[in-house]
Amino acid sequence: MPYSKRIRSNVALAIAIAAAGALNFARSAESQNQAATPSAPAAATAELSPVPVPGPLAQPRSAQQLGVPALQTLAEVPEDNPQTLQKIALGQKLFFDPGLSVDGTVACASCHNPDRAFTDGRTTSVGVQGRVGQRNAPTVLNAVYNKTQFWDGRTKTLEDQARFPITNPSEMGQPSLDAAVAKIAAIPDFAQEFETAFGQPPNSLNLVRAIAAYERTLISFDSPFDRFVAGDPNAVDASARRGWELFHSKAHCARCHASVNRDATYFTDFDFHNIGIGILRHNVVPLAQEAERRIAKNDLPAVDQAAIQSDLSVLGRFLVTRKDADMASFKTPGLRNVLITAPYFHDGSQETLWDVMDHYNKGDGLKDPWLDEDIEPLALTENEIDDLVAFMVSLTSAEYKEIGEKELARQRALSRISRPQRDTARAFGPKQPQPKPPCQCP
């Protein structure tokens, strides 16, 4: 199809999606069939939460929101998986169905709950049989724009991102993607919906295509800050406006949460950085050597399992590239709806936005040889930290306004009694020299 026609077709589809309203997501009891238990137990377990029921916040989002990069949104749809209403509806149903997991207890939505801006509120996520993973669940909102997926960027497409959690023993635990398809294919409603969406019986390729099609509709803009950028000077308060100025100057946030020429679209550079989180709890060099011995560079299923199930997770991007410069580096997350996505960082180690700012303010990671060169003491005052938090709060989309108000109150109250990352002396001191990386030779 010529590009201009494809644009017109996709615009019409976006309008149709916005008008489609709520879909029926009744879950079939047949999706609860039991399957084989995965062989590799996790080191820790936790209680599973009930699988979320899809409500208004789970619905496909309109592409007409203020701030949406319309042309880029259309360009992100791959030619081999064009958007259709039937495919999106099927993908949403699959996203919320625990029948995809080996024991019928975990769905995609278990870690990506719409009421939490498609995160789960946990430090690190919990999978089948309560198995605790090593990584914090990133939001799926605006994942359509990601250049790579997962904290370490081990895949590029949303189709591949949908694939790995289904077969990871610490997530959905299926022995293979075909095993998940077999469960779904046995349910008449699903079998018919695959025929409607793809003209074929259920198969693994179309399973992940449907989930990815739904995820591409989860765009979230229309924040107070978008209204401010669009010309409404009263859309955000004076504190948030001061925070926006600090974002580009003294706080150096724009170095990674890129905002070139003050563009306020993605709030990420789509790159990977070592920011001094988690690395000091591990002896990284032996872990890197272990990764070299055990996992071939391009063995992405093995990388996926190591990232979720073992201490090798701390290696971050290095697990994928095996480059020293990527040691313990993780993807820069976008900041839209960041208020709702606590706790923060790849390991969920920071509870509030004030903790995050305290971490950066003191230039944490003094003994981290691979620390990003942009991490340094910032000398931010308490008022300036408050202003930066106010700015990040202003990035909360309209549909999360009420949830955001409650979460801000929770974080503010906690920050008044607990600031474990605050170190004023270091924040106002000079940048200390970093140690040189040790030899990784065996």
Averaged pLDDT score across all residues of the chain: 89
CA angle 360–383–231, rounded 5-degree value? 95
Residue 12 has pLDDT above 80, yes or no: no
Q: Which residue has the higher pLDDT, 262 or 439?
A: 262
CB 104, CB 186: distance < 8 Å: no
Sign of the CA dihedral running 212, 213, 215, 221:
positive
Q: How confident is the model at residue 442 (pLDDT cuts 50, 70, 90)?
A: low
Q: What is the mean pLDDT of residues 389-410?
A: 98
Backbone angles phi, psi at 189, to 5 degrees: -60, -45
268 and 130 in contact (C-beta within 8 Å)?
no
Give the tens place of pLDDT for each residue, 74-98.
Answer: 999 999 999 999 999 999 999 999 9
Which of 98-107, 243-252, 275-284, 418-427 bottoms out in mean pLDDT, i.e. has the lowest? Answer: 275-284
Please give the single-letter amino acid code of residue 122. Answer: R
Look at residue 194 and tell me whether its pLDDT is greater than 50.
yes
| pLDDT the model gives residue 43 | 57
Q: What is the pLDDT of residue 279?
A: 72
Kindly state the tokens that stand for 24: 């029926």
pLDDT-above-90 percentage for the chain: 82
Q: Which stretches of 21-58 are DSSP H helices?
A: none
Per-residue pLDDT at 439: 66
Residue 183's contacts (CB-CB under 8 Å, 6 or more residues apart) are 31, 33, 35, 99, 100
The predicted pLDDT at position 259 comes to 78
pLDDT at position 9 is 44
> What integer pLDDT is reported at residue 40 of this predicted model?
38
Per residue in 314-327, pLDDT (tens digit) is 999 999 999 999 99
**CB within 8 A of 12, min separation 6: which ones?**
none
Beta bridge partners of 45: 131
Tell me the per-residue pLDDT of 369-396, one tens digit each, with 9 for 90 and over. 999 999 999 999 999 999 999 999 999 9
Note the pLDDT tens digit of each residue in 290-346: 999 999 999 999 999 999 999 999 999 999 999 999 999 999 999 999 999 999 999
What single-letter DSSP state applies at residue 207? H
Q: How far apart are CA 193 and CA 190, in angstroms?
A: 5
| Token code pair at residue 6 | 């494809």
271-291, pLDDT tens digit by residue? 999 999 977 667 888 999 999
Reduced to 3 states (helix: H, G, I; strand: E, B; else coil), residue 411 is: helix
pLDDT over threshold 70, residue 23: no
Domains of the chain: 3-215 (1.10.760.10), 224-278+328-427 (1.10.760.10)
